[in-house]
Structure 1
Amino acid sequence: MRRTKRLLTLTLFATAATAGAQGNLTFVCGAQADWCQVVANAYKKETGGEAKFLRLSAGESLARLRAEKANPSFDVLFGGTGDVHEAGTKEKLLTFYKPKAWNELYPELRQQVKDAYIPLYTGALGMAVNDTVLKKRNLPAPTDWPDLGDPKYKGLVAMPNPNTSGTAYTMITTLIQIYGEDKAFDLLKKIHNNVPRNGYTRPGSGAAFLAARGEVAVGVTFLHDAVAQNVRGFPVRAVAPKAGTGTEIGGVSLVTNGPNPAAGKQFIDFVLKPETQKLAATVESFQIQSNAKTPVAAASPNLDKIKLIDYDFGKWGDSATRARIISRWTKEVFPLPRR
């Protein structure tokens, strides 16, 4: 009897260990690191599986997936702007997986991305404005995109670098859709002249952080990142440009030929549950979550009160288009001397 009990106990431990191992995965975190951590902790608590992650900005995520195409080390791409998910799917770096909660996701989000990837959240682009800095300079707050190119804001504008940031790419393509490509690049050159040496950040949230710390007066960022800084007690507010602004539909995608696809699918199903999506607001990530059953955090920007353009996710998510636009900015805008 004792031997039988021992064998039964060992079998149970072995089964539990195997189940945990099968649920282990590694994911690229294209969202805020603290959000990824709280999700990873919750995943382990519910499934017993380990979810390890590496924080990379959108552009870095795509570069890493391309570099590892023959032998991926990740199972899931969690977060990051839609252009990366669109490009990754078209390049077969990512594989579309229809999750269990598919029909619970906002239909308009699914329609906008044309079922190319799984929507995880959405948010609108805009500015983080530090009125304290502006008041010291006796300057008015900018209200629209052209204001950012006004010489009176010399050295006071921060924005992310499109070579690493999906936020910056969304900004550039938003300007193109509003003003046309050549006029948009003329404006980007004027904005560049107002960006200080340390004003180009790797992640999009970095520009909001510089504005929050008072290193600049304005940071181009997603509005939920500006709200997050305000909630943390910094003197910044979110401003949506009057001419209109673009949106992101951040995604979650299965990496093609990842080391543990079964765990990857399990993780995707887990992060789309309302109970999991609610965790974002607990770490001050105020995007609108994709599951219609997930309550919208009180601090989240109200997209119904913002003038949104009809952002073409398919067109601007195309790999060749994305590469061309970023290359043009890198060649024509970034090297220009600040006058």
Structure 2
Amino acid sequence: MSSLRSRSGDDTTYPALSARRVARDLVPGAAAEQTVRPSARLRTGGRAGRIGWLLVAPALLFYAAFVLWPLLQGVQYSFYDWNGIGPSTWVGLANYVTVFTDPDLLGAIRNAFVLIAFFTVIPVTAGLVLATLIRSVRAGFFSSVSQTILFLPQIIPLAAAGIAWSWMYAQTGAVNQILGWIGLGRLARPWLGDYQTALPAVGLIGSWTLTGLCTVLLLTGIGKIDASLYEAVRLDGAGWWREFFTITVPGLRQELAVLVTITIIAALSSFDIIYTTTLGGPGRATLVPGISIYRIGFTQSEVGLASAFGIVLMILVLAVVLPIQRLSKVRDK
């Protein structure tokens, strides 16, 4: 021990350093262990990485088989004139030219963008207001019941929701009966059979379906906002509106970006509700890309044109969604 002290005479000044020296001298293998440890850590990390890849390999295989491969096939088919059975003929970009010049297909795209107002603007706005109101009520029976009731439409299959609402929109359905009870019977009409009201009527079904999801997700987001921020603005004499726009809305930026993304995708790729209510009618008043692709591919047997329209729809969705995601990330930095 005296030799150890002589070699670490500055142990009072550098106690941690002297302790390491003592450990190194007393334990001969300590230095070797310290030199070996990084390589052992690398081996452990490599083994964990291989195990991780083995665990995700089945999911990657399924994703490649059922998403990537069909997508590549769709891109390939979009350059051919093919009925799905017989020989195909190379047509190059002719199918894409048809998509952007056919008035019916352009009208379907326009209708899909109109549905964004019903699938995105109304549910997100209503969900934001409802979540704020529910938060102002103390957690209890009313809060739990209201969340459950609002979320119920989300768990109902869209096909079933479309059938139920088509009955309610009928000439003798619940909607017209309620209008008659409140003295607005003159407004009664076959909502899904009128060229002017068919698309808004279908859009309101989407609003009803998505409002519960928006409310529950935004309510969860409000729960993570620091309560001291609300107390601070109240001490400054802020009212409900200032509290809402200065604390609640900025604190829900990520949740709002997610909801806007989900609902825009639902609007642009809508199919179930329209198929079970109007089939794109009357005429082409509610025709959307999903219904058009189905008709072109399975009814008219123009697989190449249907594939081209599907690729165009995918690009439109990405062109709308990716800037929203990028903007939300930039504002968080």
Asked if these proteins are the same fold (TM beyond 0.5), I'd say no
Q: TM-score, normalised by structure 1?
A: 0.24
Relative to its length, the structure with more strand (as a share) is 1
Q: TM-score, normalised by structure 2?
A: 0.25
Larger Rg: 2
